[in-house]
Amino acid sequence: MSQMRLVVVGASGRMGRTLVRAIAEAPDLVLAGAVEPEGSPHLGTDAGVLAGLPPLDVTVSDDALPLFAAAEGVIDFTIPKASIAFAGLAAQARIVHVIGTTGFDAAEQAAVEAAARHATIVKSGNMSLGVNLVAALVKRVAATLDDSFDIEVLEMHHNRKIDAPSGTALLLGEAAAAGRQVALSSHGVFERHGITGARTPGEIGFATLRGGTVVGEHEVIFAGPHERISIGHRAEDRMIFARGALAAARWARGRKPGLYSMNDVLGLADI
Ligand SMILES: NC(=O)C1=CN([C@@H]2O[C@H](COP(=O)(O)OP(=O)(O)OC[C@H]3O[C@@H](n4cnc5c(N)ncnc54)[C@H](O)[C@@H]3O)[C@@H](O)[C@H]2O)C=CC1
Ligand SMILES: O=C(O)C1=N[C@H](C(=O)O)C[C@H](O)C1
């Protein structure tokens, strides 16, 4: 099979630069374009140089559509508003769209779902094998334990992160809720402050920490009577997310339109 031509949007971001390096090291993939928004100081710069590599002869552009039209996939770790716009363009160009962006509200998530009627989209709050395996374990443990075990989801990230709780924390909360056969929307507790009253059985609590350069740490605690189970994951390098996103693009190539997750890519759905 020929090399898969990929466009990286948000190419100057922390993940964008990591993705450019990950594509450069993959013999079956080629960087076909790099996009940043209008006004970015990086427009016109070589995407390889931006990522700390020798030049790749791909300059950063703010004109996504012609690049999408000449590619087979777009890898997108940007912001929700941009990802929705890119979903429309990817559908128009009939290319694979891998979305790693987090922080979507309900309306934005609905817009992605609508785009997936015409586009092949893989979207996940965390593209790493490790976190998706942890999510499968969390679902299993939550299904096994009753409400006498309180579930709390903890996360810590670097001080530049703009959304909370993290996409991964929500993914793990959804896994716990699915195991318990409840909706996260009715059982999730995202803030505690002041005289909150005692914990309601069945709550799924979230706690967010921000500081320094932490790549991403998550822990799900099942706190029961006189014992506590803790399942966690520590990301040590953004390359785990980038390689996961590239695996998603390869998997999605040639698949019919729809909204897929990393469970589909990794074959973890039934664990
Ligand atoms: N699903 C996963 O495995 C992971 C998801 N993320 C998520 O990816 C997103 C990006 O994270 P970082 O790279 O750390 O952020 P960042 O702020 O370093 O990079 C975001 C980039 O997107 C660009 N951007 C914004 N609007 C754009 C537009 N309209 N067109 C083109 N580019 C645009 C920005 O200029 C910036 O370069 C966040 O939502 C984060 O939570 C991050 C790591 C892993
Ligand atoms: O913003 C980040 O950095 C990360 N975002 C994702 C999230 O919101 O969970 C994934 C990873 O933890 C890093």
Number of other residues whose CB lies within 10 A of the CB of residue 198: 5
The CA distance from 239 to 247, in Å, is 12
Q: Is 12 in the pocket of ligand 1 (CB under 6 A)?
A: yes
Query: Coil, strand, or helix at residue 58?
Result: coil
Q: Which ligand is nearest to the CA of 126?
A: 1
Q: Is 216 in the pocket of ligand 2 (CB under 6 A)?
A: yes
Please give the distance, rounded to the nearest whole angstrom, from the Cα atom of residue 200 to the centre of ligand 2. Answer: 29
Residue having the nearest C-alpha atom to atom 11 of ligand 2 = 216
The dihedrals phi and psi of 121, each to the nearest 5 degrees, come to -115, 130
Q: Which ligand is nearest to the CA of 213?
A: 2
Choice among 123, 161, 218, 233 that is catalytic: 161
In sequence order, the 6+-apart residues with CB closer than 8 A to the CB of 166 are 102, 125, 155, 157, 208, 216, 218
Q: Provide the annotated binding site for NAD(+).
A: 10-15, 36, 100-102, 124-127
The CA distance from 68 to 94, in Å, is 9
Among 77, 161, 218, name the best residue to mutate to test ligand 2's pocket (greatest count of ligand atoms within 8 A of Cβ).
161
- Respond yes or no: is residue 161 known to be catalytic: yes
- Respond yes or no: is residue 256 known to be catalytic: no
pLDDT by residue, tens only, the chain of 271 residues: 899 999 999 999 999 999 999 999 999 999 999 999 999 999 999 999 999 999 999 999 999 999 999 999 999 999 999 999 999 999 999 999 999 999 999 999 999 999 999 999 999 999 999 999 999 999 999 999 999 999 999 999 999 999 999 999 999 999 999 999 999 999 999 999 999 999 999 999 999 999 999 999 999 999 999 999 999 999 999 999 999 999 999 999 999 999 999 999 999 875 5
ipTM tops the 0.95 cut = yes
CA dihedral 18, 20, 22, 26 (to 10 degrees): 180
The CA distance from 87 to 114, in Å, is 9
The CA distance from 18 to 240, in Å, is 10
| Per-residue model confidence (pLDDT) at position 271 | 53
